[in-house]
Structure 1
Amino acid sequence: MELLRKRKHPLPFPKPKLLRTTAWKCYQKRQRLKRLNSGMKKIKVDIKELSEEQREMKERQRELREKIEAIDLQCEQLQKETKLIIQQSGRTQIRLALMFQILKARENLEFDKAAMLTAALREVIAREEQEMNGSGR
């Protein structure tokens, strides 16, 4: 029966206890690695979401920039058209004033004055046509 008895280990610490602590340390290390890996996965997912949001924001900024450029072009065109309308309105007022003075002169039987105003009106119209032909080319 003595042969069946366990023999004492010659080392100061029994081998089974040493194996248990080593296994426990490995287990703890695996648990830490699992926590780190799960944390890393969450961070990677967050980074992916952020990069997608950034891409969408850049796309929206590009679209807004294009819209602003289109609005700026329209604004410039409207300013040019407004300036042209103002010039045409001023020219029309000058022609109408000359025509009104011609009618008044004829009404008052001032034919010399009417002839002079008619010549002035012709010059104004000729100058306007010359400017239009010069800018139209």
Structure 2
Amino acid sequence: MVRMQKQRGNSKYLSNCLKRLRSDMEETSEEQKRIKQGQIQVREKLEAVELECEQLQKEIKLIMHQSLNTQIRLAFMFQILKARKNQEFDKAAKVTVALRKLITRGNRQK
């Protein structure tokens, strides 16, 4: 009789341990699901940031190109004004032609 009570006690103890283990396994499983979802969200955000970075790099290159063209045009205009001031009209005409070609070429590229 004492032996049966010990077996029942052991059985209850094992049953309680199994319930606790199942509960812990469910919690672990839920935590793993949350972690996986978090990883997916982080990956999606990272991809979005990478795409935005690429777009910004393209825009920066475009702005740099436009800025360089503007500087070149301003340099030509300054040379034209300087040549006219010094009454070097033939030089002013040549630089004007070069500026027009540059502007025409820039318009074709757009």
TM-score (norm 2): 0.96
Higher relative CO (CA 8 A, sep ≥ 6), structure 1 or 2?
2
Q: CA deviation at 1:60?
A: 1.1
Shift of 1:24: 2.2
User: Unpaired runs of 5+ in structure 2?
Assistant: none
Structure 1 segments, 4+ long, off by >6 Å, are none
Deviation of 1:31 (Å): 1.2
Greater fraction of residues in helix: 2
Structure number with greater Rg is: 1
Deviation string 1:48-90 (CA, Å, 9 cap, x unpaired) is 0111111111111111111111111111111110110000000
Where structure 1 has 5 or more consecutive residues not aligned to the other structure, the ranges are 1-22, 133-137
**1:112 counterpart residue number:** 90
C-alpha distance after superposition, 1:82-130 (max 9, x if no partner): 1100000000000000000000001111010001000000110111111
Instruction: Specify the code of the residue in structure 1 equivalent to 2:101.
Output: E
Cα distance in structure 2, aligned partners of 1:27 and 1:60: 49
- Find the aligned partners of 1:96 and 1:79 in 2 and give their Cα distance: 26
1:42 to 20, 24, 46: 20
Letter in structure 2 aligned against 1:56: R
3-state SS in 1 of match to 2:87: coil
TM-score by length of 1: 0.78
- Match for residue 69 of structure 1 among 19, 42, 47: 47
- How many residue pairs are counted as aligned between the two chains? 110
Instruction: Percent identity, please.
Output: 52
Supply the RMSD in Å over aligned alpha carbons.
Answer: 0.8
